[in-house]
A and B are shown apart, each in its own frame.
Chain A
Amino acid sequence: MYTTELKDKNQKSAALSVADEDPEKLAAFEARVAADDFIEPKDWMPEAYRKTLIRQISQHAHSEIVGMLPEGNWITRAPNLRRKAILLAKVQDEGGHGLYLYAAAETLGISREEMIEALHSGRAKYSTIFNYPTLTWADIGAIGWLVDGAAIMNQVPLQRTSYGPYARAMVRICKEESFHQRQGYEIMCVLAAGTPEQKRMAQDALNRWWWPSLMMFGPPDDKSPNTAQSVRWRIKRETNDELRQKFVDVTVPQAEAIGLRVPDPALKWDEARGAYDFGDINWEEFYAVVRGEGATAKERIQARTSAWEDGAWVREAAATHASKRAMRLAAE
């Protein structure tokens, strides 16, 4: 799953500056990127590029890892054996995706521990979407359908992002995620065609996840200071608003096909634009969640921190065993 570039509204650090870079190197770099060449770990890169990438890739990785929690909340309660296996495999995939992304970020000179520490201390952000609770089984359907759907829309262009390790991780992730959205939509189809209680569950889940899913694409373009530079550097390939519109246009007919209602009274097909008009997004809500005021923000970070701290003795034991063994081998 994906996170857009997240910052508190008041946090500064707008577009990172390249003023101090060697102009000749910078020009060569920009030319390579503009020609769709890939930048590899040991290549020269502007510090702002490196920092922006570390922030974006690690946010993306954190989103995958924190994203395991809301869905993981239902693995032990999945309604049948098939759904249980699918959900466990899917949440495991998210863990794998986090792993690929941490590894991609590590090529930029930051360790996984440092990134995890930044997550736990609240310095690093993750996608706002995972700070909402999963109340019913239908939420698992809605997450797969909407959240993974939005993620795919964001991630597909990133397969051509300019940083080689990130692009390669995205190729693998996109390939693996192809089943995620379908399994979610399938859950929704079954519920929408089920008993009245199941239909209610499905509609309620759509009502709760629709707007947060639209927020996943990030602030509107005019409020997204880094977009221009990121697009030029091929760290981002389409703007937040372009992707959001695309998502609305493909998702609305999917809801209609199974008899669910998108919770937006302003939603209307615009014949002239060939696209849906949709209502205003509550950006105050978005920024509140970015600030860490989401309904389950504390639970998510607590779960991640406990897992990490409770696991410290395991990591230490294995490292200690490895050095003991290495010493024994050396003594032989």
Chain B
Amino acid sequence: MSKASSSEAVGPTNSSWPLWEVFVRAKNGLAHKHVGSVHAADERMAIEAARDVYTRRMEGVSLWVVPSSAIVASDPKETTELFEPAADKVYRHPTFYTIPEGVKNI
């Protein structure tokens, strides 16, 4: 966990604990996947809460917790301009190309 996250997540003194997003790696070789969130006062507690809440059934071998406030999300209003331009770039996909029949290993 990085030091930088702690001050951001903690905020001013009051009794409500910030929200953290939890990511679990199910097994080595796989990426961490978002599974949910927990409230915790500090990063150590966030890891432990994530462990107690989201890995009770052997769901993982590694955890990330990220202060929810640190996540920057794309705006759904921009969805068309961000993602639709990719739609006509069919040449990025292997099925776009014609290969003579019978040619293998390509």
- Which residues of A are in contact with B by a Cβ distance under 8 Å? 40, 42-44, 92-93, 96, 99-100, 103, 106, 111-113, 168-169, 172, 176, 312, 315-316, 318-323, 325-326, 329-330
Residue pair B36, A172 in contact (C-beta under 8 Å): yes
A111 contacts which chain B residues (CB < 8 A)?
16
**Given contacts A43-B76, A176-B57, A319-B15, is CB(A325)–CB(B6) below 8 Å?**
yes
Residue pair B13, A103 in contact (C-beta under 8 Å): no
Query: Out of A93, A96, A322, which one reaches B10, CB within 8 Å?
Result: A322
Residue pair A113, B16 in contact (C-beta under 8 Å): yes
A318 contacts which chain B residues (CB < 8 A)?
17, 41-42, 45
- CB contacts under 8 Å to A, within B1-34, are 3, 6-7, 9-17, 19
Residue pair B76, A40 in contact (C-beta under 8 Å): yes
Query: Out of B15, B36, B41, which one reaches A100, CB within 8 Å?
Result: B36
Residue pair B75, A42 in contact (C-beta under 8 Å): yes
Judged by a CB distance under 8 angstroms, whether B103 is at the interface is no
Residue pair B16, A96 in contact (C-beta under 8 Å): no
Query: Out of A112, A316, A329, which one reaches B39, CB within 8 Å?
Result: A112
Chain B nearest CB from A285 CB (Å) reads 36
Judged by a CB distance under 8 angstroms, whether B58 is at the interface is no
Chain A nearest CB from B66 CB (Å) reads 14
Give the 10 A-B CB pairs with smallest separation, nearest first. Answer: A318-B41, A316-B15, A326-B7, A315-B15, A322-B42, A322-B10, A322-B41, A103-B37, A326-B10, A323-B13
Residue pair B36, A169 in contact (C-beta under 8 Å): yes
Chain A nearest CB from B26 CB (Å) reads 14
Query: Out of A42, A100, A103, which one reaches B76, CB within 8 Å?
Result: A42
Residue pair B12, A44 in contact (C-beta under 8 Å): no
A93 contacts which chain B residues (CB < 8 A)?
56
